[in-house]
Structure 1
Amino acid sequence: MDPSKGGPAYSVRESSSILAARGHDVTVLTLDDAAHPPIDPRSLNFLYIPIGKGIGGFSFNIKYFFWLVSNRSRFDLTIIHGIWQWPSLAYRLARKSADKFIVMPHGSLDVWDRDVKKAKFIAKKLYWRFVELPLYRTAQNAFFTAEDELIAAQSQFTFSGVSGRVVPYGAVSVGAPRKNILLSDRYTFGYMGRIHEKKGIELLLDVFAKVVNEFPEARLRIAGTGAKDYVDFLKNKCQILNISKKVEWLGNVHGVTKHHMLTSIGLFVLPSFQENFGLAVAESLSVGTPVLLSEHVNVHKRVSAYSAGIVSGRTFDEFYAAMHCWITNPDLYQEFRDNSVKCFDNTMSLHKHVDCIEGVL
C-alpha cells in the first residue's frame, strides 16, 4: 500500500476504495510495516491490515499464512496481487478448493531483462512451473491489464490450463483537465514514476540534450524517487551532457502538486524498456496532457487508436524524431489534448476495472 511503490500499490488502494464506496466489505492484507504503516488505516474506507514485513527478498512471514488460514473463509472473493513472493504461495497453501479467487501479476510475467539475467530467468521458470502455475490454474481468472502483457506472459511461461483475461485497468483522475496546451508548453517535457533503469530515463536524457541544442527553451521535469546511487548517476549524466540547468528533479509528487506538474508540461514522456501499464500515463491523459511512449509500454495501442499522443521506437534517432515532431507541430496540441481525455475516460478509468472484479462475484 506504500504510495512510493508505484502502480500496483496504487491500484490496490484505489480499487479497494471504489469497491467499498459501492457497498462491499473490503479487507486488504499486506506485508507493510505493522508498527509504522505507510498509510494511516483511519484515512481509508476499507479495512487495511499491515501484518508486518517479511524476511528476505521472498518476504516470508508466517503470521501472514496463519491470518489467511483463520480468515479466508469469510470472503466471497480474494484477489492475489503480485507473484514470485510469499503472499501467493501462502494463499495457495491456505486456500480450500471451494474458495473463489483472482490472480493479478501486474506485469511480473513479462521478464524484460531475461537476456541479461539468464540464471534468474531460469529460476523463475522453475518456480512458475512448480509453485505459481498450480495456483493460476485453479483461479477463476488471471487478470492482465493489456493484450501485450498476456501475450508476453504466454510466450515466456507455460500457460496451459490458465484462464487468462485482459481487463480494463487504469487510474482515477488526478484533477480537472487542462483547458488548453499553450504554445510555450511545447518546450516542456515531463516524466513521473519510479526512477529505475527499466524506465529508459538514460535515453530520455541523451535525446533531451540534443533537443536543448536545437531548442534552448526546452525544459525537462522529472518526478519520482529511486535508488540513491542510480539517481546520482542520472544527475551526473546531466552534468556531463551539460543539461543540469534544464532538468528539474521534483521527487515524489502527490495531490495538487501532481496535478500542477502534469498540467504544466506539454508532453509526458515514457521511453520504457517494458511497462505493464503505466499508471502515470493514465494520470497524464486524465488531465488532458498527451504522451510520448515507447512501443514497449503496453498501452501504446490505446494511445495510438485515440490519437492521444505519439508512439516511438526506442532508438535514439526515433525518440528524437518524436520529440522534434511534437515541438514543430503546434497544430497537434488541441487535438491531442481533447483525445487524451477521451482515451482516459474510455480505456483507462479504474472504475471499469472494478466493474470486472464485481463481474466475478
Structure 2
Amino acid sequence: MRTHLKNDIPKFDIVHSHSLYLFHSLVTGHYCRKHGVPYIVRPHGTLDPFMYKRHRLRKMVMELLFENKNIKEAAALHYTAAEEMTLAEPVTFNAPGFVVPNGLNVSEYDHLPKNGTFRKKYPELNGKKIILFFSRINFKKGLDILIGAFDLVQQQHQDAVLVITGPDNEGFGDKVREWIGERNLTDKVIFTGMLTGEDKLAVLRDADVFALPSYSENFGIAVVEAMACGVPVVISDKINIWREVESNRAGKVSSCDHVQFAKEINALLANEELRSIIGNNAQHMVRDYYQWDKIGMALEREYTNILRTRERRPQSFKVRGDASV
C-alpha cells in the first residue's frame, strides 16, 4: 500500500481518505503533504465523543505521531451529518468541514418482495408484530437498551416479536442472548444472522417497526434502508441523522433509555395509521436526501470548491476508484 500511494498520489489533483487511526491515513497524509496534493479526511464517526474516548491512550500516541497533523492540514473534513460535524468540532483544530450524506440506489427499493415472504420462513411469526433490529451485533448498537425496552413492550403487546438481523463478528451475540434469557424472552426473539439481497428486502418489507438505539452512529445506513422500505423507525438521539428524521416526521427519536424507547415503540405498535404515515414520510425523505446521484453532485461541488481555492482548474481533477483510500 505504501509503495502504491507513494507512486500514485502525485498523479492526482485531490485525495479523499477514509477513517482515522489506521496505516493508510499515516501514509496518505504524508505523501499528500509532500507533493502538495490537497486531501479530504472522512472520520467515519471516530471523532464522536463515545468512540473518541475508547482506547484513548493508544489513539493519543497516533494523534501525536501523525493524526493531529493530518487533521490540521486537511483541505477539509467530510461528515455525513451535521450532528457528526458538531460533535467533532472540539477535537478538529478548527479544520474546515462540509456535510455530504451517505446514500442508496433508491431504485433497488422500488420493487420489494411480496408482503409475508419473510414471515413464511418463520411460522412462529404468524399473527405477530415484528420489531426489527437490523445492524451489526455490536457493543455500540444499544442492544442492552433494546432488550430492556422489548421487555416493557411485551407488557402491552404480547403479540410482539423481536427479530435480530445482522452479523455477529465479535461474539457479542452471546452477551445479548444472556440478557434475553435473564428476562425470559428467549421464545420471543429470533436471530436470523446476516441477510442480503432479496432476503434482506423481505425482512424489511415485513417489519412493523425498525428499532436501533445506538450509543454512537455517525450516519446510520441501516436506518435509511429501513426508511426506503417504508418501515417506521425508532432511533436514538445518538444516531447523527436523528434531527433530519425528526424534522421530516420520518420516525421516532428517543434518548438512550430503555423506558423511553419502549414508549416510542408502543406508540407505533398501537397505531397502524401512524405507522403508515411515518413510513410514507420516510420514503419521501430518502428520495429527497439520500439518492446517490444527488450525493455525487454534492461531493463533486466540494471537490471543485477545494480545487478552486487552490487556484487549480476544477475541470482537470480525476475521480477514480483508486484515488479514494
* Shorter-normalised TM range: 0.7 to 0.9
Partner residue of 2:120? none
CA distance in 2 between partners of 1:83 and 1:205 (Å): 32
Q: Shift in Å at residue 346 of structure 1?
A: 1.3
Counterpart of 2:238 in structure 1 is 296
The letter of the residue matching 1:269 is: A
Residue 336 (structure 1) aligns with: 278
Correspondence for 1:146: 81
Matched, 1:349 2:282: no
- Give, in whole Å, the separation in 1 of the partners of 2:153 and 2:44: 34
Once the two structures are overlaid, the 10-residue window that deviates more, 266-275 or 219-228, is 219-228
CA distance in 2, matches of 1:114, 1:69: 29
Q: What is the distance in 1 between the residues matched to 2:159 and 2:268? A: 14
Which position in structure 2 is the counterpart of 1:111?
49
Match of 1:89 among 2, 5, 26: 26
Q: Would you say the 8 A contact 2:232–2:282 is kept in 1?
A: yes
The TM-score normalised by the length of structure 2 is 0.82
Residue 187, structure 1, aligned to residue 129, structure 2: yes
> Would the alpha carbon gap of residues 331 and 106 (structure 1) be closer, same or farther in structure 2, given more than 3 Å must change?
same
| Residue type at the aligned position of 1:319 | F
TM-aligned CA distance change 1:175 to 1:114, over 3 Å: closer
CA shift for structure 1 position 179: 11
Please say if residues 149 and 276 of structure 1, whose CA atoms lie closer than 8 Å, have aligned partners that are also in contact.
yes
Give the helix-richer structure, 1 or 2.
2
Residue pair 1:144, 1:167 contacting (<8 A) in 2 also: yes
SS at match of 2:172: helix
Gaps of at least 5 residues in structure 2 are 117-125, 305-325
Supply the distance in 2 between the matched residues of 1:105 and 1:352 (Cα, whole angstroms).
22
Q: Which has the higher contact order (CA 8 A, sep 6+)?
A: 2
Correspondence 1:226 to 2:168: yes
Query: Among 57, 66, 72, which residue is 2:3 paired with?
Result: 66
Q: Secondary structure at the match of 2:226?
A: helix
Letter in 2 for 1:169: N
Contact 1:268 1:290 in 2 (8 A): yes
Q: Do 1:145 and 1:169's aligned partners in 2 also have CA atoms closer than 8 Å?
A: yes
Q: What TM-score do you get using the length of structure 1 for normalisation?
A: 0.74
The RMSD of aligned alpha carbons is: 2.5
- Give CA deviations for 1:94-116 in whole Å, capped at 9, x if unaligned: 2234313221111111130566x
Select 2:104's aligned residue among 149, 167, 171: 171
Counterpart position of 1:128: 63
Pair 1:297–1:171, CA change in 2 (3 A): same
| 8 Å contact from structure 2 (residues 104, 292) kept in 1 | yes
2-structure distance, mates of 1:114, 1:192: 24
| C-alpha distance in 1 between matches for 2:21 and 2:263 | 39
Task: Report the Cα offset of residue 171 of structure 1.
Answer: 2.6
Check conservation: 2:218, 2:240, Cα contact below 8 A: yes
Paired residues, what number?
292
Q: 3-state DSSP class of the match of 1:159?
A: coil
Residue aligned with 1:216, SS: coil
Question: CA–CA distance in 2 between the matches of 1:287 and 1:103?
Answer: 31
**Distance apart, 1:180 and its partner CA:** 11
Structure 1 residue identity aligned to 2:4? W
Q: Say if 1:185 and 1:266, in contact at 8 Å, map to a contact too.
A: no
Write out per-residue CA displacement over residues 141-187 of structure 1, whole angstroms, 9 at most, x where no aligned residue: 211111111111112x1423x111122323333422669999x9982
CA distance in 2, matches of 1:166, 1:126: 28
Alignment match, 1:196: 138
Distance 1:139 1:82, change over 3 A: same
Contact 2:251/2:278 (8 A) holds in 1: yes
Does residue 159 (structure 1) correspond to residue 159 (structure 2)? The answer is no
Name the CA shift for 1:176/1:158 in 2 (closer, same or farther; >3 Å): closer
**SS across alignment from 2:102:** coil
The answer to whether the aligner puts 1:263 opposite 2:205 as a matched pair is yes
8 Å Cα contact 1:193/1:224 also seen in 2: yes
Equivalent-residue separation in structure 2 for 1:254 and 1:227 (angstroms): 16
Cα contact 2:102–2:221 (8 A) shared by 1: no
Percent of pairs identical after alignment? 26
CA-CA distance at 1:243 after TM superposition: 1.6
Matched, 1:250 2:192: yes
Question: C-alpha displacement at 1:91, in angstroms?
Answer: 0.9
- Report the equivalent of 2:309: none
Which residue of the partner structure matches residue 122 of structure 2? none
